[in-house]
Amino acid sequence: MYCEFLRRVLPIALASCVSAAAQAGTVLLQSTTSTQNSGLYDALLPQYTAATGDRVRVVAVGTGQAIRNARNCDADVLLVHAKAAEEAFVESGFGRSRSDVMYNDFVLIGPVANPAGIGSDMSVSEGLRALYDARAPFASRGDDSGTHKKEIALWLGASLAPEQHSGDWYLETGTGMGATLNIAVESNAYTLTDRATWIQFGNKQDHEIVLEGDESLFNQYGVIDVDPTHCPNVDHASATRFIKWLTGEPGQAAIAAYRVDNQQLFFPNAAP
């Protein structure tokens, strides 16, 4: 009876509130934050809605949380950037199939004064080594996000274990990219971020990119349709339609066309 009350009364009470309730073509997209914070969806989704009439609702959280939410079936589509975790998600039967969508790259940002002396010609491993030796403050996401997973892999690649210095110069913020950038800026720390978020970030103060271009900084975004056999309530038809558009010619062109300050933030690379 209580459920019945919620189902009937609340939506009626809110009907004036909300332009339209969920209709046939509504895609719930669990996404990483960088794609939302960079403004990509604001450019992309109206085009999709105009083309198909479908609506896309984006919940932007860290990759780790997005995957967990999708595992709870609270998503029709998952768009994140942690390829290994994405493949595991599909293999465990939560996702139907994974496709590449686009890429950009990670960059290491730090104070202009660059106390660790990281050179722009260094490799990532060398840069991290310099940082480690200088005990320069470094802000880590520490939240199981795609960026965090990448950062861990990079430290591992450099055979360094900064976690033992956690709380000293290695600062695990446990929050999103934006909050971590704010902390890095205020505490004169270095941090790893995806380029799109950095370009769009409005509080750079005296921070800049200190290292970029290394091959291992490649950042691949993938899209997955949540498996309807695992989650019978997902709108799989709408999900498939959206993914087809995103990885198809119109979506890829729209991604390539999105620019901030004349810089392209994402590079489409879906398999044709």
Partner 1 sequence: MHSFSEAFAEAASLLLSFDPALLEIVSLSLRVSLLAVLIAALIGLPLGALLAIGRFPGRNLLTIVVNTAMGLPPVVVGLVAYLLLSRAGALGPLELLYTPTAMVIAQTVLVMPIIAGLSRQSFVELHSEYREQLQLFGLSTRAQLKVLIWDARYALVTALLAGFGRATAEVGAVLMVGGNINHYTRVMTTTIAMETSKGNLAVALGLGMVLLLIAFAVNALVHSVRVRAERAAYV
Contact region with partner 1 (CB under 8 A), list: 70-78, 79-87, 106-114, 163-171: 70-78
Interface with partner 1, residue 202, by CB under 8 A: yes
Question: For residue 249, what are the contacts with CB-CB under 8 A and spacing of at least 6?
Answer: none
- The nearer residue to partner 1, 97 or 233, going by C-beta atoms, is 233
* Binding span for partner 1 by CB under 8 A among 113-121, 146-154, 175-183, 247-255: 175-183
Decide if residue 221 touches partner 1 (CB under 8 A).
no
Q: Torsion over CA of 245, 250, 251 and 255, rounded to 10 degrees?
A: 180
Coil, strand or helix: which one is 135?
coil
Is 8 one of the binding residues for partner 1 (CB under 8 A)?
no
Q: Which one, of 159, 125, 153, 126, lies nearest residue 140 by Cα?
A: 153
Choices 95-103, 129-137, 199-207, 212-220 (CB under 8 A): range interacting with partner 1? 199-207
User: Applying CB under 8 A, does 50 fall inside the site for partner 1?
Assistant: no
Applying CB under 8 A, does 33 fall inside the site for partner 1? yes
For position 231 contacting partner 1 by CB under 8 A, the verdict is: yes
From the CB of residue 163, how many other CB atoms can be counted at a distance below 10 Å?
Answer: 12
The reply to whether 74 sits near partner 1 by the rule CB under 8 A is: yes
Backbone angles phi, psi at 248, to 5 degrees: -90, -175
Q: How many CB atoms lie within 10 A of CB 115?
A: 14
Whether 31 contacts 223, CB under 8 Å = no
179: contact with partner 1 by CB under 8 A:
yes
Closest CA to 261 of 211, 202, 177: 202
Residues engaged in binding partner 1 (CB under 8 A): 3, 6-7, 10-11, 13-14, 16-19, 22, 28, 33, 37, 41-42, 57-60, 69, 71-74, 176-179, 181-182, 185, 200-204, 231, 233-234
